Amino acid sequence: MYLLAVFFSWLIYSAAAQLDPGAPAYYSIAWQDFEKLPAARKTIPLKQPDYALLDAAIFQVTNKIRTQEGKPLLQYLPALHRSATFHAQAMIELDFYDHYNLKQLAYLTPDKRITAFGGFFHYSAENIAQYDIINTDLEYCPVRESKMYFNYLNCDTRKPFKPYTYLAYAVAVVDGWLHSPPHRQSLLSIHYQYMGCAARISKNPYQQRQVPFARIAQNFGGYGPSNSN
């Protein structure tokens, strides 16, 4: 299942380290080189995901699409990564899906979050998404394997569906945005020069009948030009 929302503009957690972007080296290489990384093609371990790698995959796939569409590459900015991480994490921890964080009013809007984490721009925008992280068919059969564990099977073959790889998941998420006109506009706009992306996985994966999913936030910032593209 895929849910989308877009915002144009323009919980502080005890584990503050979770808000610090990791592995900046992922952002210092071209998307072509990122795609060749063996780690990017590994299956996502849902109970111990490498969020630094997952966030970077969404960033790099976005720049790949911009290249293919003849748009300038976006630069990684830690402030936007932090604001996106905060919101993706808040949507999971506080159980909501929206651009507006009504449970933490100091971080109510994308603009407030971006500013709170050190981003100041003439233009800003936010894409969000919710996307299953196990690559099931539209119909699947959840089967309880034990008291605390579900498996998700093809109803005909009874074979289990597997989680996406980091790269494949990023491709699926970005493809969903591309097929939604307002999200596509943000993703390809020449208003923005900077970006940060973050995804966080639903609580207690495999312990519910519902397939585990992630909620994703993508923050953009820039200074023009005045005409959108």
**Residue 126's domain is classified under what CATH number?**
3.40.33.10
- Give the range of the structural domain holding residue 154, as residue numbers without chain letter: 46-222
Which carries the bigger pLDDT value, residue 6 or residue 175? 175
pLDDT band at 24 (very low <50, low <70, confident <90, very high): confident
In this structure, is residue 20 part of a structural domain? no
User: What's the structural domain count of the chain?
Assistant: 1
* Average pLDDT, integer, range 10-33: 59
Q: Given the structure tokens 């034990």, which residue do they identify?
A: 146
What are the DSSP E strand ranges found in 105-148? 123-132, 141-146
In this structure, is residue 108 part of a structural domain? yes
In this structure, is residue 126 part of a structural domain? yes
> Residue 219: pLDDT above 60?
yes
pLDDT band at 20 (very low <50, low <70, confident <90, very high): very low
State pLDDT tens for residues 124-144: 999 999 999 999 999 999 999
In this structure, is residue 155 part of a structural domain? yes
* Average pLDDT, integer, range 59-80: 97
CB crowding 53-92: b at 16 or more within 10 Å, else e: bbbbbbbbbbbbbbeeeebeebebbbbbbbbbbbbbbbbb
In this structure, is residue 19 part of a structural domain? no
pLDDT band at 224 (very low <50, low <70, confident <90, very high): confident
In this structure, is residue 209 part of a structural domain? yes
Mention every residue, 6+ apart, whose C-beta is less than 8 A from residue 125: 6, 7, 8, 9, 10, 110, 186, 189, 191, 192, 219, 220
**109-91-144 Cα angle (round to 5):** 165
What per-residue confidence (pLDDT) applies to 15? 29
**Two structure tokens written together for 161:** 């569906």
> Residue 158: pLDDT above 90?
yes
> Residue 227: pLDDT above 50?
no
In this structure, is residue 98 part of a structural domain? yes
In this structure, is residue 32 part of a structural domain? no
Average pLDDT of the chain is: 90
